[in-house]
Structure 1
Amino acid sequence: MKKQILTMSAAVAVLVAAWGSAFAAGFSIREQSAEGLGSSFAGIAAGSHGLSSMYWNPATISQHNEQGYISESNISLILPYSEAKDGVGGFGGSSDSGNIGVLALVPASYSVYGLTDDITLGLAINAPLGLATKADAWAGSPHGSSSEVFTLNVNPNVAYKIGDMLTVAVGVQGEYIAVELESETPGGAQFFGGEADDIAFGFTAGLLFEPMDGTEIGVGFRSSISHKLKGDGFLTPVGFNDGISAKLKTPEVVTLGIKQDITDEFRLMAGVEWANWSRFKALDIIRDDTGAILASTPQDWDDSWFFSIGGEYDWTDELTVRAGFAYEDSGVPDSTRTPRVPDNDRYWVSVGASYKINGWLTAHAAYSHIFVEDGSINLPAGGGLPSLTANFDQHIDIVSASATIDW
């Protein structure tokens, strides 16, 4: 009986660690725009990349007011590579995780309608957060063998143009989130898992300032969304199965962008983004039947920053080409990096193009390669979890395409 109690305690610790790792790991999805990807999202809050700019700044929809109803559909293929090597864990197991990255398709859609000369309506449907990792059985499996996070965010917004230079906008976010996480000991002797979901709401806001012809400056804000996840946690073969819950507040995000026309054909863009990931200091997992805290896991994350610069050139009346570079500070401290999302600082290199097929249809495509700095893991034993050391080799390739239709 004592052995079973100890086993269940370890299982709870593993389950808690699994949830904490996924929620704290800065798992925002940036790939919301094929046009934006082509310049590493430089200047996107200034409306430099079509309808999809509304995801970062809803005020940019006013730039499309005279077009009546217009829509845009995006799809991004994400090809991550992340492999742990030289792994040593307290429960033994292979030193190599294999590629834990899982291929993902990320859709996004946007619509804009000019209601009056000064009022523009917009609708964005996105997946702002996401995570998909799956490892082979290895030394780090007790800290996380697979992870899935899915979100669906619906964001209607309205923009009002005040004179010729200033536009203000606000919007509402309705967001569904579902999480499924698993861990196991090497050899599969014990299997742990948890799943939960929730619906919650937030808002967006933005400003667009055009001080002179050829200059556009935008600031966008996405609020935090407070999720109260409820679901089930389980352990086999012991037979533990009980309701669990956790509170998750997504980070506030502020994006600043500028676009400057250099000539009639050539434009330069730049952007800065801040995300408030430092709000994740700890995560409490609650057992539903007793209301007791199963565990409180420290997070200690830092705020993340994203800096980008890019340019685009109208090669012909139909063809526009673009390129960009970005640096992203992930905010993940070395002390709490885990196998679920072994995130680290990144460098983006991107190219893209747009082609106007006819008067009502424009196609966009882009490619990015992300160089991710190697990340080390050095987790001490504690709370029923074994120690783990490992080194991760990582990079990401992204291909995006979209179509804009002027109805």
Structure 2
Amino acid sequence: MSVTIRQATMLSCLLAVCGASSEANASAFALREQSAEGMGNAFAGSAANASDPSTAFFNPAGLARMDSNQAEAQATWIQPQAKFTGTNSSAIPGAPNLTGTLPENAIKPAAIGSVYDVWNAAPDWKLAFAVNTPFGMRSEYKADWVGRYQALATDVTDIDFSVVGSYRINQNLSIGGGPRFSYLKGRLTQALNFKTIGLGAASQLASGATQYGQAAAAAAAAGQASTAAALGAQASAYATQAQGLQTLANSWGDGLGKIEGDDVAAGYTLGALYEFNKETRVGLNYRSRVAHSLAATASFQTPATLALAGPTLSGPFTAQAATLKATLPDSLNVGLHHDLNAQWAVMSSVEWTHWSLIQTLNGIGANGLLLTSLPLKFRDTAMASLGTSYQANDKLALRAGIAYDESPVTDTTRTARLPDSSRYWLSFGGSYTVMPGTDLQLGYTHIIADKALITETTNALLATGTLNGSYDNAIDMVSLGVKVRF
């Protein structure tokens, strides 16, 4: 019977993980929600608690404290809010601001999940298999929103498969680690302002016509009749092309650009756990960076008459292979856990994330053309959390925690794709033993985020105006889990 329960638990959560859409709720696009139990403490002490199979993710050295075979599955519902207020200027100097709607909530709700299976291989050896979504985000604006030329859809999903183990060196010290295999999928879309693109090209042609006309006049004044005639003919040709392109461009509406791709890459995790005594322990865990090079495809929706403008203008907007390079950052987590008595425990954590690895995200076409560019310019961050647990009786445990989560995004580099800001966590939760060997877990978090100011100018292919304004962000999360011991 226990094997059936275990298989059902693993299968249901694998389906949840692989089918989930991800929404970033830790800093940038990281996802910390890998444990319903841990959420109740705002993930305080996550590298040291070692109280359930999710320690395979937070610190595999903690598996040494597992005294039985265990399986755990959890799912988290994320309900974000990101309300924008502001304007978008035109890319044409002196032109009025761009028109469009203001989104009530661009960041979409989503569900994520994780699954763990721990094997008690020997008294000092433990092995575990884990599937997680440690990174992800999904934002999607309406096609007519005021910042459509900066961003429409942004979809990033990272699914990690890990095989980790732990070894107890002595009664105080345990170590752990193992490989991680990361599947990363990304999709970026944005509206293309073909009218402005065309008028910009027409303006360049008109400027060329003026320059050739001036050169022709100078040649004529110098008595160089043949040179003046040639330059005059070129000026006339440019002027005709400029007028024709201007007429075409004024009939064009918005188009769409999309780049999407995926990649598989590998990394690793290493951890250590030191138990000073039965009451106090400290944990250290390092998760490596993972460098991805996404094999992608760029596609475009263009005006029907774009080809009439000639290959110089229409050429870049043809479907083509592309490459997206992205590095998922490494992190270092230090946690402390202390049992005050048989009922009360306190814990704390500090986690550093190497976000400064991400400076610019570029989408490069097959011909080397820059298709899209996000100057993110992230900075390194830290998250600090404090938590407490109360064992009410032999079945019920209650938890609470607070945290401050620093954002790698600054006011000068914030983008509509990722309107992130530093935030504060308020968490509580609990677990209940419904039958011997089976616990149900619940965690809830409310996140209050700082106001996110934005001044974004996009220069991919052609400047598309400057988005000025602010986002008011908040997030609510509910996590449910089940842990089974065998």
1:159 aligns with 2:148: no
Matching residue within 356, 360, 363 for 1:282: 360
8 Å contact from structure 2 (residues 376, 409) kept in 1: no
For the residues of structure 1 that align with 2:329 and 2:360, how far apart are their CA atoms? 14
Question: Which amino acid counterpart does residue 285 of structure 1 have in structure 2?
Answer: G
CA displacement 1:226-284 (0-9 Å, x = unmatched): 11101111221155211110221110111111100111110000000010001122334
For the residues of structure 2 that align with 1:132 and 1:49, how far apart are their CA atoms? 31
Question: Which amino acid counterpart does residue 261 of structure 2 have in structure 1?
Answer: A
Matching residue within 329, 334, 358 for 1:256: 334
CA displacement 1:131-165 (0-9 Å, x = unmatched): 11111221111111111112211000011100100
8 Å contact from structure 1 (residues 45, 258) kept in 2: yes
For the residues of structure 2 that align with 1:324 and 1:242, how far apart are their CA atoms? 49
Partner in structure 2 of residue 190 of structure 1? 255
The alignment yields a C-alpha RMSD, in angstroms, of 1.8
Structure 1 residue 287 displacement after superposition: 1.8
For the residues of structure 2 that align with 1:188 and 1:77, how far apart are their CA atoms? 38
**C-alpha distance 248-148 of structure 1, shift in aligned 2 (>3 A):** same
Partner in structure 2 of residue 92 of structure 1? 98
Partner in structure 1 of residue 281 of structure 2? 216
Kindly report which structure 2 residues correspond to 1:61-210, keeping only aligned pairs within 5 A, or say none. Answer: 61-64=63-66, 66-67=67-68, 69-90=69-90, 92-94=98-100, 96-136=102-142, 137-185=144-192, 189-210=254-275
Structure 1 residue 97 displacement after superposition: 1.9
8 Å contact from structure 1 (residues 47, 54) kept in 2: no
For the residues of structure 2 that align with 1:261 and 1:394, how far apart are their CA atoms? 36
Question: Which amino acid counterpart does residue 134 of structure 1 have in structure 2?
Answer: E
Rg (Cα) greater in structure:
2
For the residues of structure 1 that align with 2:113 and 2:146, how far apart are their CA atoms? 34
1:56 aligns with 2:58: yes
For the residues of structure 1 that align with 2:328 and 2:381, how far apart are their CA atoms? 13
TM-score norm. by structure 1 comes to 0.90
8 Å contact from structure 1 (residues 45, 53) kept in 2: yes
Matching residue within 441, 465, 472 for 1:386: 465
CA displacement 1:67-113 (0-9 Å, x = unmatched): 1x210000000000001112333261225122101111101001111
Bigger share in helix = 2
**What stretches of structure 1 of length at least 5 have no aligned partner?**
1-21
For the residues of structure 1 that align with 2:417 and 2:325, how far apart are their CA atoms? 19
Q: SS of the residue aligned with 1:55? A: helix
Q: Mean alpha-carbon deviation: is it higher for 71-80 or for 81-90?
A: 81-90
Partner in structure 2 of residue 230 of structure 1? 295
TM-score norm. by structure 2 comes to 0.75
8 Å contact from structure 1 (residues 151, 177) kept in 2: yes
Q: Mean alpha-carbon deviation: is it higher for 109-118 or for 94-103?
A: 94-103
**What stretches of structure 2 of length at least 5 have no aligned partner?**
1-23, 91-96, 194-251, 307-316
Question: Which amino acid counterpart does residue 468 of structure 2 have in structure 1?
Answer: T
8 Å contact from structure 1 (residues 74, 403) kept in 2: yes
Structure 1 residue 295 displacement after superposition: 6.6
Kindly report which structure 2 residues correspond to 1:214-363, keeping only aligned pairs within 5 A, or say none. Answer: 214-237=279-302, 240-288=318-366, 290-291=367-368, 297-363=374-440
Structure 1 residue 114 displacement after superposition: 1.1
Partner in structure 2 of residue 399 of structure 1? 478
**C-alpha distance 126-332 of structure 1, shift in aligned 2 (>3 A):** same
8 Å contact from structure 1 (residues 71, 111) kept in 2: yes
Question: Which amino acid counterpart does residue 281 of structure 1 have in structure 2?
Answer: Q
For the residues of structure 2 that align with 1:131 and 1:360, how far apart are their CA atoms? 35
Partner in structure 2 of residue 17 of structure 1? none
Q: SS of the residue aligned with 1:143? A: coil
8 Å contact from structure 2 (residues 117, 129) kept in 1: yes
8 Å contact from structure 2 (residues 383, 403) kept in 1: yes
Question: Which amino acid counterpart does residue 314 of structure 1 have in structure 2?
Answer: Q
Q: SS of the residue aligned with 2:276? A: strand
The percentage of aligned residue pairs carrying the same residue is 29
Partner in structure 2 of residue 31 of structure 1? 33
Question: Which amino acid counterpart does residue 411 of structure 2 have in structure 1?
Answer: D
8 Å contact from structure 1 (residues 85, 95) kept in 2: no
Q: SS of the residue aligned with 1:333? A: coil
Partner in structure 2 of residue 11 of structure 1? none
**C-alpha distance 164-31 of structure 1, shift in aligned 2 (>3 A):** same
For the residues of structure 1 that align with 2:190 and 2:361, how far apart are their CA atoms? 18
8 Å contact from structure 2 (residues 150, 457) kept in 1: no
